[in-house]
């Protein structure tokens, strides 16, 4: 796909739609009855499930997902409570339906003991209607993911591992809070791919402080050499609350590269991966040729597919109602076993179901013009973006260029603002740590 090189950046910031954009919170007294009716129905066909494991071995300074430090006892207690949540939900639900992708995300699911990983996965298989071809992902990092845990996951049905690496550059890794040198991270991933025999994907971040183009090219080359099935490339999101912000202020890190440098690094990744024959499966995800990567959960969650949620801090949506499970670990653990530990319920904006579908199309890089909502408002935006080299219009579709794919979240936000102006104020954010999906951009 042709890339245009705009003289100036088309947007001054790169921002996404808030996950709860346009939703109306349901008052707490209404939750039990609403939850009961949602919960009693069968799982829809083609649904997803997300399970959150809110523990980390340390707080990596670049990350906004950290919630709780890990210790074996609280992780075991947490697994017990999570299994009770799964069983209580299953006991009320009408049988039927089908879950086509299940994601254990974090935090760091691979920190759980082998025994806890096994009993959790087996409980998920026993309580949820997983399809025969269900994509079952376990997220984590290389530290503490020992062969006995890999064996336990595979024996209990996991068929995909998503491992956060961020960069293979040892000096940057150390400052980020990752103790293994880059070459150990690389050999671990190569080992995991061949030893597990499952789909292994890795996360890399570009635009980190100190990460220049040369380092980033090497990161992609290294990733390409490991037998991985997939690769996520995320733009570094410098949220104000991150510990790294203080480190930059104190001079412990150089300033983070700006948007123009991030865009250049994104394009380097897209070109290197395309040259190696990898397919672009979403704006930030790539699949190796014949690697078996489906990326089903990540693609469908963006399109608003119904998703069941379990575990402290998890977010889900069913029948137009989104909900969050209690994020506070103590309160989650102390909720009686038969009660769903809910922290929020909200209903979607009437008539805005197209928003999620459009978000899915932007992720896939191609918008069908025939199904555009309020075309009179959105077509002028698309024409403007075509002039700026962000997309190409061919009469039936708008196809995002590589530049357009970098700015995809910002374009989505602008479309929502223009199409539904009444909901504009205060409804955007500079990307988000929400636990339905690890992706932050
Ligand atoms: C929720 S984290 C969990 C991964 C795993 N615990 C780890 O430590 O690698 C998932 C991914 O989010 C991405 N991420 C975290 N903080 C980010 C940030 N500030 N900007 C961009 N991506 C970020 C990282 O690539 C990370 O692998
Ligand atoms: S990168 Fe992973 S391990 Fe580190 S703080 Fe974030 S979620 Fe936790």
Question: What is the DSSP code string of 6-32?
Answer: -SS-S-SS--EE-TTTT-EEPPGGGHH
291 and 377 belong to one structural domain: no
Q: How much distance in Å is there from the Cα of 436 to the middle of ligand 1?
A: 13
Query: Using CA atoms, how far apart are residues 236 and 138, in angstroms rounded to an integer?
Result: 23
pLDDT of residue 16: 72
The CB of 219 under 6 Å from ligand 1? The reply is no
Q: Return the biggest CA–CA distance within the chain.
A: 60
The CB of 54 under 6 Å from ligand 2? The reply is no
Q: How many helices (H) and strands (E) does the chain have?
A: 15, 20
Does residue 40 fall inside a structural domain?
yes
The CB of 211 under 6 Å from ligand 1? The reply is no
Other beta carbons less than 10 A from residue 286's beta carbon: 27
pLDDT of residue 7: 58
Query: Using CA atoms, how far apart are residues 358 and 418, in angstroms rounded to an integer?
Result: 14
Q: Which of 266, 284, 302 corresponds to the end of one domain? A: 302
Q: In which residue are the tokens 């932007």 written? A: 362
Cβ atoms of residues 181 and 170 within 8 Å = yes
Q: How much distance in Å is there from the Cα of 138 to the middle of ligand 2?
A: 14
pLDDT of residue 355: 81
pLDDT of residue 374: 85
DSSP code for 94: P
The CB of 173 under 6 Å from ligand 1? The reply is no
Q: Which of 263, 283, 302 corresponds to the end of one domain? A: 302
Helix 353-364 vs helix 408-419: crossing angle, to nearest 10: 150
Q: How much distance in Å is there from the Cα of 164 to the middle of ligand 1?
A: 6
Nearest CA to ligand 2 atom 4: 60
pLDDT of residue 427: 44
pLDDT tens-digit map of 90-136: 999 999 999 999 999 999 999 999 999 999 999 999 999 999 999 99
Instruction: State which of 54, 58, 65, 284 you would mutate to test the pocket of ligand 1, scoring each by most atoms of that ligand within 8 A of its C-beta.
Output: 65
65 and 136 belong to one structural domain: yes
Query: How many domains, in total, are found in the chain?
Result: 2
421 and 298 belong to one structural domain: no
Q: In which residue are the tokens 């635009």 written? A: 207
288 and 167 belong to one structural domain: yes
* Structure-token pair, residue 240: 């104000």
Does residue 124 fall inside a structural domain?
yes
119 and 213 belong to one structural domain: yes
297 and 371 belong to one structural domain: no
The CB of 164 under 6 Å from ligand 2? The reply is yes
Ligand 1 atom nearest residue 140's Cα? 5
120 and 253 belong to one structural domain: yes
Nearest CA to ligand 2 atom 2: 107
Q: Which of 302, 330, 365 corresponds to the end of one domain? A: 302
131 and 267 belong to one structural domain: yes
* Structure-token pair, residue 22: 């346009």
pLDDT tens-digit map of 332-366: 999 999 999 999 999 876 656 778 888 899 999 99
294 and 366 belong to one structural domain: no
> Bridge-partner residues for 286, per DSSP?
231, 280
Query: Using CA atoms, how far apart are residues 251 and 385, in angstroms rounded to an integer?
Result: 38
Does residue 330 fall inside a structural domain?
no
CA 313 vs CA 106, 123, 144, 430: distances in Å: 9, 19, 23, 20
Does residue 235 fall inside a structural domain?
yes
Q: How much distance in Å is there from the Cα of 415 to the middle of ligand 1?
A: 27
Does residue 218 fall inside a structural domain?
yes
Residue 377's CATH number: 1.10.10.920
122 and 210 belong to one structural domain: yes
Q: How much distance in Å is there from the Cα of 275 to the middle of ligand 2?
A: 31
Query: Using CA atoms, how far apart are residues 435 and 56, in angstroms rounded to an integer?
Result: 14
Q: How much distance in Å is there from the Cα of 107 to the middle of ligand 2?
A: 6
Does residue 370 fall inside a structural domain?
yes
294 and 359 belong to one structural domain: no
* Structure-token pair, residue 390: 């962000």
- Domain range for 200: 23-302
pLDDT of residue 441: 41
Return the H-helix or E-strand segment holding 399: strand 397-400
DSSP code for 42: P
Residue 29's CATH number: 3.20.20.70
pLDDT of residue 280: 98
232 and 296 belong to one structural domain: yes
pLDDT of residue 133: 97
Residues above pLDDT 70, as percent of the chain: 92
The CB of 305 under 6 Å from ligand 2? The reply is no
> Bridge-partner residues for 366, per DSSP?
399
Q: Which ligand is nearest to the CA of 409?
A: 1
Query: Using CA atoms, how far apart are residues 410 and 415, in angstroms rounded to an integer?
Result: 9
Query: Using CA atoms, how far apart are residues 151 and 138, in angstroms rounded to an integer?
Result: 12
The residues of the chain scoring below 50 in pLDDT are: 1-6, 425-434, 437-441
Does residue 344 fall inside a structural domain?
no
Does residue 386 fall inside a structural domain?
yes
Q: How much distance in Å is there from the Cα of 178 to the middle of ligand 2?
A: 10
pLDDT of residue 431: 32
Q: How much distance in Å is there from the Cα of 9 to the middle of ligand 2?
A: 31
pLDDT of residue 304: 86
């Amino acid at each position: 796909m042709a890339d245009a090189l705009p003289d100036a950046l088309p947007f001054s910031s790169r921002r996404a739609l808030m996950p709860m954009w346009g939703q109306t919170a349901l008052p707490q007294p209404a939750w039990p009855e609403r939850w009961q009716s949602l919960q009693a129905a069968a799982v829809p066909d083609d649904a997803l499930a997300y399970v959150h494991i809110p523990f980390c071995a340390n707080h990596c300074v670049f990350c906004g997902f950290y919630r709780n430090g890990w210790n074996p006892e609280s992780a075991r207690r947490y697994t017990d409570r999570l299994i009770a949540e799964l069983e209580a939900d299953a006991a009320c639900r009408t049988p039927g339906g089908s879950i086509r992708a299940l994601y254990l995300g974090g935090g760091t699911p691979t920190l759980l003991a082998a025994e806890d990983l096994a009993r959790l996965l087996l409980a998920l298989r026993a309580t949820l209607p997983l399809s025969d071809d269900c994509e079952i992902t376990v997220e984590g990092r290389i530290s503490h993911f020992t062969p006995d845990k890999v064996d336990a996951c595979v024996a209990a049905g996991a068929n995909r591992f998503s491992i956060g690496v961020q960069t293979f550059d040892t000096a940057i890794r150390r400052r980020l809070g990752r103790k293994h040198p880059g070459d150990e991270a690389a050999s671990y991933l190569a080992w995991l791919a061949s030893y597990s025999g499952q789909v292994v994907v890795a996360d890399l971040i570009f635009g980190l402080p100190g990460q220049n183009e040369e380092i980033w090219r090497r990161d992609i080359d290294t990733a390409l050499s490991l037998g991985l099935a997939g690769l996520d490339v995320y733009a570094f999101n410098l949220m104000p609350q991150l510990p790294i912000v203080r480190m930059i202020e104190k001079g412990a890190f150089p300033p983070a590269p700006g948007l123009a440098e991030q865009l250049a690094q994104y394009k380097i990744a897209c070109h290197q991966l395309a040259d190696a024959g990898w397919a672009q499966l979403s704006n930030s995800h790539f699949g190796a040729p014949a690697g078996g990567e489906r990326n089903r959960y990540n693609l469908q969650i963006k399109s608003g597919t119904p998703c069941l949620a379990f575990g402290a801090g998890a977010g889900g949506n069913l029948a137009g109602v989104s909900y969050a499970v209690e994020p506070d670990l103590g309160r989650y653990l102390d909720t009686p076993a038969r009660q769903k530990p809910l922290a929020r319920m909200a209903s979607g904006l009437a008539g805005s179901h197209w928003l999620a579908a459009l978000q899915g199309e932007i992720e896939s890089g191609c918008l069908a013009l025939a199904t555009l909502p309020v075309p009179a408002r959105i077509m002028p935006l698309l024409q403007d973006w075509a002039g700026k080299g962000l997309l190409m219009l061919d009469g039936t579709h708008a196809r995002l260029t590589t530049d357009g794919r970098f700015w995809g979240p910002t374009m989505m936000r602008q479309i929502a603002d223009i199409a539904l102006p009444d909901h504009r104020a205060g409804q955007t954010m500079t990307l988000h740590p929400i636990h339905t999906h690890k992706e932050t951009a």
